């Protein structure tokens, strides 16, 4: 199967990406970067040879996965005298992580050819490959093992509905999963799925490093004050986090009524993509209530704040009394732990089963699920009317978010023994 993948399926995928990139500027940049990887390798080799240090390569598909490995990167840099390279598949990570402390270089994931990985690994004197979540590429892993490197998959998960359980995906990925030295899995349920699907015995359930990262972000957010205290003082704050247009269609339609009924209510809207077009739609819809943009000075009389800058969601959640988490009326919910750790009730739509944490948070009583604007309005009003209910749900949310902290230390302990 590896022959079919390497010499037939992979070339077809690369040709397809090149064709699509002709019509997409977003895809064109990654294609250009990947096409110049041999030049990058030639430039890297003398730099890494001169450093005299070995290298850890960490691969994450996107910005979301990168957020979850930040605790690992921080501790790896503190504990081991190694260079650290991070590779991304998508632009969302590459374009936003260029100056992150502790990282020596970032690259787009090279095309998955064994000869290319061999050149890359040898040029940087790589000792350890860490892959996050599920973006495992067969030749990436197999070449690393052939070169005697340690290989780890962390935050591994696999839902019963995952496309990786299809016949073709299993045929391509099974040998790669079996080749990995260690697979750190987020839950017992996911562990059973991975073992049964890929027939591997190299797994261990340790939890998800995103729990550790959420705590780190909370501690960082508490050290800074980004909002005018006059704006939030003695008000009830409802935060809409990572809001997609599909979310807005279902939940913002009832916001006007909630604002009319609850004069003490203020709202922070954090769009998933704060483009000019999206911001303009929010402004047009809620202008009568007085709105402010984060990039501008906030008027204390405004009842709606629109965050027109990325990377600030965790800082907004710390001011919330109630949080709605977006993506849950589209392809899948975003991180529910970020608001939960602030001791507040969390609300989301029906598309949440892509998230193990969202399912568990609901099961533990720390969140509510709404299917339309009417249910959303009723749930918010109930929480606004009953402070004791709000506190009870918030306590349950925080309990779940904090009781699963600690996977980072377990993974670091394994790495320490593995590279000796």
pLDDT (tens digit, 9 = 90+) per residue, 1-39?
Answer: 778 898 888 888 889 888 888 887 777 888 888 988 999
How far apart are the C-alpha atoms of 156 and 140, rounded to whole Å?
A: 17
Output the CA–CA distances (angstroms, integers) from residue 23 to 27, 120, 224, in the order listed: 8, 30, 42
CA angle centred on 174, ends 172 and 178, rounded to 5°: 140
pLDDT at 315: 87
Q: pLDDT tens-digit profile of 349-402?
A: 999 988 889 999 999 999 999 999 999 999 999 999 999 999 999 999 999 999
Residue 201: phi and psi, rounded to 5, are -120, 10
Output the CA–CA distances (angstroms, integers) from residue 353 to 44, 194, 243, 416, in the order listed: 42, 17, 18, 35
Neighbour tally for 30: CB within 10 Å: 20
pLDDT at 91: 85
pLDDT at 404: 86
Contact status, residue 167 vs residue 143, Cβ threshold 8 Å: no
Contact status, residue 175 vs residue 138, Cβ threshold 8 Å: yes
Contact status, residue 306 vs residue 292, Cβ threshold 8 Å: yes
- Would you state the torsion angle of the CA atoms of residues 250, 255, 257, 262, taken in this order, to the nearest 10 degrees? 140
Say if residue 349 is exposed, middle or buried (CB neighbours under 10 Å; 0-12, 13-18, 19+).
Answer: buried
Domains in the chain, CATH or no CATH each:
2-6+13-208+405-418 (3.40.50.11720), 224-403 (3.40.50.2000)
Which run of H or E residues covers position 240? strand 236-243
Neighbour tally for 328: CB within 10 Å: 29
Contact status, residue 14 vs residue 7, Cβ threshold 8 Å: no
pLDDT at 342: 97
pLDDT at 27: 79
How far apart are the C-alpha atoms of 183 and 72, rounded to whole Å?
A: 15
How far apart are the C-alpha atoms of 141 and 2, rounded to whole Å?
A: 12
SS3 assignment, position 18: helix
Q: How many residues would you count in the chain?
A: 420
Place of tokens 């977006």: 326
How far apart are the C-alpha atoms of 229 and 233, rounded to whole Å?
A: 6
Output the CA–CA distances (angstroms, integers) from residue 292 to 154, 275, 300, in the order listed: 41, 16, 9
Say if residue 186 is exposed, middle or buried (CB neighbours under 10 Å; 0-12, 13-18, 19+).
Answer: buried
How far apart are the C-alpha atoms of 271 and 259, rounded to whole Å?
A: 19
Handedness of CA 97, 99, 104, 107 (dihedral sign): positive
Q: What is the mean pLDDT of each run of 10 residues along the chain (420 residues)?
A: 84 87 81 89 93 95 88 92 94 80 92 96 97 96 98 93 90 96 95 96 95 90 86 92 89 89 95 86 76 84 89 90 94 91 97 90 97 96 97 98 93 93
How far apart are the C-alpha atoms of 395 and 389, rounded to whole Å?
A: 10
């Amino acid at each position: 199967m590896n022959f079919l993948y390497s010499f037939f399926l992979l070339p077809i995928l690369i040709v397809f990406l090149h064709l699509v990139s002709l019509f997409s500027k977003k895809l064109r940049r990654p294609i250009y970067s990947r096409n110049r990887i041999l030049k990058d390798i030639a430039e890297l080799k003398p730099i890494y040879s001169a450093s005299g240090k070995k290298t850890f390569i960490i691969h994450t598909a996107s910005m979301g996965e990168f957020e979850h490995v930040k605790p690992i990167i921080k501790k790896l840099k503190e504990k081991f005298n190694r260079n650290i390279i991070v590779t991304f598949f998508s632009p969302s990570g590459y374009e936003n992580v260029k100056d992150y402390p502790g990282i020596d270089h970032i690259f787009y994931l090279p095309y998955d050819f064994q000869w290319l990985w061999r050149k890359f690994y040898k040029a940087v004197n790589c000792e350890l490959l860490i892959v996050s979540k599920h973006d495992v590429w067969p030749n990436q892993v197999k070449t690393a093992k052939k070169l005697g490197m340690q290989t780890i998959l962390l935050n591994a998960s696999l839902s019963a509905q995952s496309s990786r359980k299809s016949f073709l995906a299993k045929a391509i990925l099974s040998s790669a999963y079996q080749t990995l030295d260690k697979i750190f899995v987020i839950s017992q349920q996911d562990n059973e799925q991975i073992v049964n699907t890929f027939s591997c015995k190299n797994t261990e359930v340790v939890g998800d490093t995103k729990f550790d990262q959420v705590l780190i972000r909370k501690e960082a957010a508490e050290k800074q004050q980004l909002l005018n205290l006059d704006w939030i003082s003695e008000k009830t704050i409802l935060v809409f986090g990572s809001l997609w247009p599909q979310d807005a269609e279902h939940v913002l339609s009832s916001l006007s009524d909630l604002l009319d009924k609850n004069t003490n209510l203020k709202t922070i809207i954090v769009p998933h993509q704060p483009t000019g077009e999206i911001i303009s739609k929010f402004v047009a819809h809620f202008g009568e209530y007085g709105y402010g943009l984060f990039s501008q000075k906030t008027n204390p009389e405004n009842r709606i704040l629109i965050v027109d800058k990325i990377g600030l969601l965790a800082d907004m959640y710390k001011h919330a009394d109630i949080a709605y988490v977006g993506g849950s009326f589209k392809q899948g919910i975003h991180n529910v732990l970020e608001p939960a750790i602030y001791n507040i009730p969390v609300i989301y739509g029906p598309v949440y089963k892509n998230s193990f944490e969202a399912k568990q948070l609901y099961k533990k009583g720390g969140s509510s699920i709404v299917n339309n604007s009417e249910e959303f309005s009723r749930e918010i009003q109930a929480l606004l009317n009953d402070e004791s209910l709000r506190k009870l749900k918030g306590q349950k949310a925080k309990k779940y978010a904090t009781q699963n902290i600690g996977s980072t230390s377990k993974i670091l302990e394994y790495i320490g023994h593995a590279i000796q």
